[in-house]
C-alpha cells in the first residue's frame, strides 16, 4: 500500500494521471460516491470531473491496484453521480467488493486520523517501503489499526438470544457483540460480554467466520454458543431489551449483508 497526503494540486494531478484502468473509490466522510444509475462505485473514469482542490488525500493499494480518495466534506458530486451512505453500499454488495471498498475506506480514515506520533508527538511521514507511517523523532513505525470484536449468536434449543441496542431507534434485534480487551482470548471476551450484557453463561463455543466492518474500523469475529445457565438481566446502559425468540417468530433483524444476519440465517 502506498499512501499520499498532498497539498499541492499539481502533485495530485500527477497521481490522478496514473489511474487509467484501475478501480477507484471516492469517499466523503461516511459516504461513497456512486453512479446514479446502477449504484456502483464511481471509478477512475470520473477523475476529470473531480476538482483536485476537493481531494484531501489518496492511497494506492499495491496488492489490489485500487485507489482510495478522501474528498473534502464540501466536495460536490459530479454529474451522473451521488453520494451514498457507505453502510448502504456495504450491505448491497458481495464480500469481495466489500473487502476492496472497506480496505480503501479504512486506509483513508487512518491517514486522516493518525498524523502525529502517539509516543513523542512528532509529525508522521509515509514510510517509503512499509505499509506504515514513520516518526523521525523516535524512529517508531505506526501501522493501520483495526479493533477486534466478537459477535455471537447464543442458542437454547430452537430459540435464539437476540438483543436490541440501547441506541437503536428502529426496533432492530441483533446478536450480542463487543470489543476484545487487552490480554483476552476471543473465547474469554465472548463469555465476558455475554455475562456483562445478559448475565447468562454459555458453552460449546464454535467459530463461524469473520467480516471486516469499516464502521469505522472493526474486525468482527463471529461465533455460535449454547446457553449454559442463568436468567436474563440486561446491562441497561448498553442494552434496551434481550429475549429468546423462536425461529418462526423472529423480530426485525439486521440488514442482509451484515455478519449478524448471516449468523441468524445460519449462512456459514
**This prediction's pTM:** 0.84
| CATH number, residue 213 | 3.90.79.10
State the cell numbers at 116.
Answer: 502525529
Question: 3-state SS of 36-50?
Answer: CCCCCECCHHHHHHC
Domain end (from 90, 113, 136): 113
The pLDDT tens digits for 121-152 are: 999 987 877 778 899 999 999 988 889 999 99
Maximal CA-CA distance, the chain: 65
> How far is the CA of 128 from the CAs of 2, 31, 133, 134, 169, in angstroms?
8, 29, 9, 9, 46
Q: Is 9 helix (H, G, I), strand (E, B) or coil?
A: helix
Say if residue 87 is in the same domain as residue 126: no
Say if residue 105 is in the same domain as residue 188: no
Q: Is the pLDDT of residue 32 over 70?
A: yes
Which run of H or of E encompasses 250?
Answer: none
Say if residue 182 is in the same domain as residue 260: yes
Arithmetic mean of pLDDT over the chain: 89
CB–CB of 13/52 below 8 Å? yes
Q: Is 124 helix (H, G, I), strand (E, B) or coil?
A: strand
User: Which residues is 178 bridged to in the sheet?
Assistant: 150
Say if residue 93 is in the same domain as residue 125: no
Give the total number of structural domains in the chain.
Answer: 3
Say if residue 159 is in the same domain as residue 101: no
Say if residue 96 is in the same domain as residue 154: no
The pLDDT tens digits for 160-187 are: 999 999 999 999 999 999 999 999 999 9
Domain end (from 70, 90, 113): 113
Rounded average pLDDT over 24-38: 93
Say if residue 24 is in the same domain as residue 98: yes
Say if residue 131 is in the same domain as residue 77: no
| Confidence category of residue 64, pLDDT binned at 50, 70, 90 | confident
Say if residue 133 is in the same domain as residue 120: yes
Rounded average pLDDT over 228-232: 97
Say if residue 92 is in the same domain as residue 179: no
- pLDDT for 267 equals 81
Say if residue 166 is in the same domain as residue 258: yes
Q: Is the pLDDT of residue 12 over 70?
A: no
State the cell numbers at 198.
Answer: 445478559
| Confidence category of residue 257, pLDDT binned at 50, 70, 90 | confident
- pLDDT for 126 equals 79
Rounded to 5, what percent of the chain is helix, strand, coil?
25, 35, 40
> How far is the CA of 18 from the CAs of 14, 75, 262, in angstroms?
7, 22, 39
State the cell numbers at 265.
Answer: 440465517
Say if residue 84 is in the same domain as residue 40: yes
Domain range for 125 is 116-145
Amino acid at each position: 500500500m502506498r499512501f499520499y497526503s498532498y497539498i499541492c494540486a499539481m502533485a495530485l494531478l500527477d497521481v490522478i494521471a496514473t489511474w487509467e484502468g484501475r478501480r477507484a473509490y471516492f469517499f466523503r466522510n461516511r459516504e461513497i460516491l456512486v453512479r446514479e444509475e446502477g449504484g456502483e462505485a464511481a471509478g477512475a473514469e470520473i477523475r476529470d470531473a473531480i476538482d483536485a482542490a476537493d481531494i484531501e488525500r489518496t492511497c494506492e493499494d499495491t496488492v489490489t491496484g485500487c485507489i482510495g480518495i478522501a474528498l473534502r466534506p464540501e466536495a460536490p458530486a459530479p454529474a451522473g453521480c451521488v453520494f451514498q451512505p457507505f453502510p448502504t453500499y456495504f450491505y448491497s454488495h458481495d464480500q469481495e467488493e466489500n473487502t476492496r471498498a472497506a480496505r480503501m475506506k479504512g486506509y483513508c480514515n487512518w491517514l486522516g486520523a493518525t498524523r502525529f506520533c502517539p509516543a513523542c508527538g512528532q509529525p508522521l511521514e509515509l514510510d517509503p517501503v512499509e505499509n506504515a507511517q514513520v516518526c523521525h523523532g523516535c524512529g517508531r513505525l505506526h501501522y493501520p489499526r483495526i479493533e477486534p470484536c466478537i459477535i455471537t449468536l447464543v442458542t437454547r434449543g430452537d430459540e435464539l438470544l437476540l438483543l436490541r441496542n440501547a441506541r437503536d431507534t428502529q426496533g432492530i434485534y441483533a446478536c450480542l457483540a463487543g470489543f476484545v480487551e487487552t490480554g483476552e482470548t476471543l473465547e474469554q471476551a465472548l463469555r465476558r460480554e455475554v455475562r456483562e450484557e445478559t448475565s447468562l453463561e454459555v458453552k460449546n463455543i464454535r467459530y463461524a467466520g469473520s467480516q471486516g466492518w469499516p464502521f469505522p474500523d472493526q474486525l468482527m469475529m463471529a461465533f455460535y454458543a449454547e446457553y449454559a445457565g442463568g436468567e436474563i438481566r440486561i446491562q441497561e446502559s448498553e442494552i434496551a431489551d434481550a429475549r429468546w425468540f423462536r425461529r418462526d417468530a423472529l423480530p426485525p433483524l439486521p440488514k442482509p449483508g451484515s455478519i449478524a444476519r448471516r449468523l441468524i440465517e445460519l449462512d456459514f
